[in-house]
Structure 1
């Protein structure tokens, strides 16, 4: 009887160890890039490593809010993609973990600068300039002039023709808000946002949704990162991409390991893999036209040429800080979103 009990106990321990090992080979990925890119990254990492990936796609603002809500019991392991500002805020609030990847030597300086400014709690994976796109057929059909500047979008003739995301949920829209404050100064920047608000037909949840709506003919103009507008044009929609004349902000799309990740080893494996040229080249398969952070990765010839765009010296440290982001969003909620349209 004692021998049988010992054998049973040994079997249970072995079974438990096997189950634990099986459970360890997994990764929970929060993704804030476009859906098909998120899926491709998840499945490709599975193929490369045998690690099962549970991927959830949400916008940058939504993902930040989820990670914050789960901070006492983290459920995610890695947050990949989305604008850098909320990643920087997550780092400041100790929601993400410091990690220095051996892949850093292969990255552009701007990607490493993003890591340095956050105490190595995030890193740049791509960059892209802010702008807008418009549906050329709708513009002509409504006898509207071609816009070329930010201020054009506040003109009365564009009332009901402009769409952008809500800066509370979208990293793209928060970058828009922070860019206007930096381009025009805070007072004039908020006056611009008020003038723009009068012409907005809808605030979407996702940052790329406005240009997809423009491509489908549901709105005339969509404020987005320019690479998202290029994607619509390349897909055959009648979309023209605009780099605004006053200059514009840009994003450093980022990646972070979540503090307290249940699958830390797998998270680091994904982090290293995602910084490789091969992983970043996957963007080309889904027409993602950002500039990759690995110097050896390929940039699509259709991608916006950053050297020809008038980029502002975007202050990532200030506008990615928790206090400044909360302050600007509260001011937008109180002074802009409540205004009649």
Structure 2
């Protein structure tokens, strides 16, 4: 009987020691703006390797930007990982994020470093991905529709009610689409295009990857998304084919920022440096995330859409990451497209 009591006491002591060790490492308040599967994987891996307890919230990049702005006087977040670069650049230009030069910078691709330099090191690139769409090839056949290869093809009246994209107010993906079309066509023509496209849109979703998940489930035929989100559906066995539009397309630099006034600053820097390592970025494919990693030594997933195979525009991150420009484009979208949404 005594030995049972002793064993229980040892176990209890071990448990409390473990709790103390975890407590000693502290906490980290993280907002993750990528797909929930990679968010959970990153959280789990970091907790295991660091002993730091991560409180994670999954929000789209537009929602995160709004939350960080609203909480500027009393920040509840330490670090913001992933999501399109434009809102990260907007947060940087408003002084909502902290300058930090990671010792990992010299291992990163040029585009990731340029992102940091343009924001005076208040953000950094963690991955990149081109914009396009994914369509359900089975529905395409059933409905006798032609493969949409170009932006212009999506205006065909045959596509009425068959397309989904996200709302650019909440989604960084959709804001990238809006800014890309403006750069490809010019502003007047782009809004004219979006008004015509609106006739074929069945739903504007909150999250950027939701439209292609709906296409995978057969709820819509086409989802306008980042191509890597379409690829992840294909890899999961859904009949989804990804397309890089023939006229050219924009791309995202998924970014990471430390919030100014972070309560757990040391732990935020630990996450920041850790998330830029080749080892961590090579693991992203295990969560069906097929973006191009920013660390030069990270393994590029064989399924990842390669930039060299896509007609990319010279996306102007500085102009379209400017808060005034974003506000102006979104207000016009609300007025001319959102107000007439189906």
1:290-312 deviation per Cα after TM superposition (whole angstroms, max 9, x unaligned)? 00000000111111121010000
- Alignment correspondent of 1:82: 83
2: distance between equivalents of 1:247 and 1:257? 33
Query: Which residue does the alignment assign to 2:333?
Result: 332
Cα distance in 1 for partners of 2:341, 2:55 equals 42
**2:53, 2:125 → 1: CA distance?**
24
Aligned pair 1:283/2:293, yes or no? no
Using the TM superposition, give the Cα deviation of residue 339 of structure 1 relative to its aligned residue in structure 2, in angstroms.
2.2
Provide the C-alpha distance between the structure 1 equivalents of 2:150 and 2:28, rounded to a whole number of angstroms. Answer: 43
Post-superposition CA distance 1:272-326 (Å, at most 9, x none): 0000011111202111000000000011111112101000000000000100011
1:22 and 1:235 mapped to 2: Cα distance? 38
Cα distance in 2 between the residues matched to 1:169 and 1:296: 33
In the other structure, the counterpart of 1:131 is: 132
SS of the residue aligned with 2:339? Answer: coil
Segments ≥4 residues shifted beyond 6 Å: none
3-state DSSP of counterpart to 2:290: coil
2:167 alignment partner in structure 1 = 166
2:284 & 2:186 partners in 1: Cα distance? 35
User: The residue matched to 1:101 in structure 2 has which SS?
Assistant: coil
Partner of 2:36: 35
Asked if residue 69 in structure 1 is aligned to residue 88 in structure 2, the reply is no
Aligned pairs, how many? 324
Worse overlay, 202-211 or 134-143? 134-143
In the alignment, which residue of structure 2 is the partner of 1:8?
Answer: none
Looking at structure 2, the residues matched to 238 and 272 of structure 1 have their Cα atoms a distance apart, in angstroms, of 37
Q: Which residue of structure 2 lines up, in the alignment, with residue 193 of structure 1?
A: 194
Aligned to 1:271: 272
TM (norm. structure 2) is: 0.93
Q: Which residue of 2 aligns with 1:117?
A: 118
**Distance across 2 between alignment mates of 1:191 and 1:24:** 54
Counterpart for residue 303 of structure 1: 304
| CA displacement at 1:48 relative to structure 2 | 1.1
Q: Distance in 1 between matches of 2:133 and 2:317?
A: 21
Deviations 1:72-98 (A, max 9, x none): 110100000000000000001111000
Q: Distance in 2 between matches of 1:166 and 1:24?
A: 39
Q: Where does residue 236 of structure 1 map in the other structure?
A: 237
Structure 1 equivalent of residue 13 of structure 2: none
Quick check: 1:167–1:174 contact (8 Å CA) kept in 2? yes
Q: Which residue of 2 aligns with 1:257?
A: 258
* Distance in 1 (alpha carbons) for counterparts of 2:166 and 2:341: 17
Aligned-pair CA distance for 1:22: 3.1
Q: Equivalent residue for 1:25? A: 26
Query: In the alignment, is the contact (CA less than 8 A) between 1:82 and 1:171 conserved in 2?
Result: yes
Specify the alignment match of 1:141 in structure 2.
Answer: 142
Contact 2:25–2:51, Cα closer than 8 Å, also in 1: no
| Aligned twin of 1:218 | 219
- Scaled by the length of structure 1, what TM-score is found? 0.93
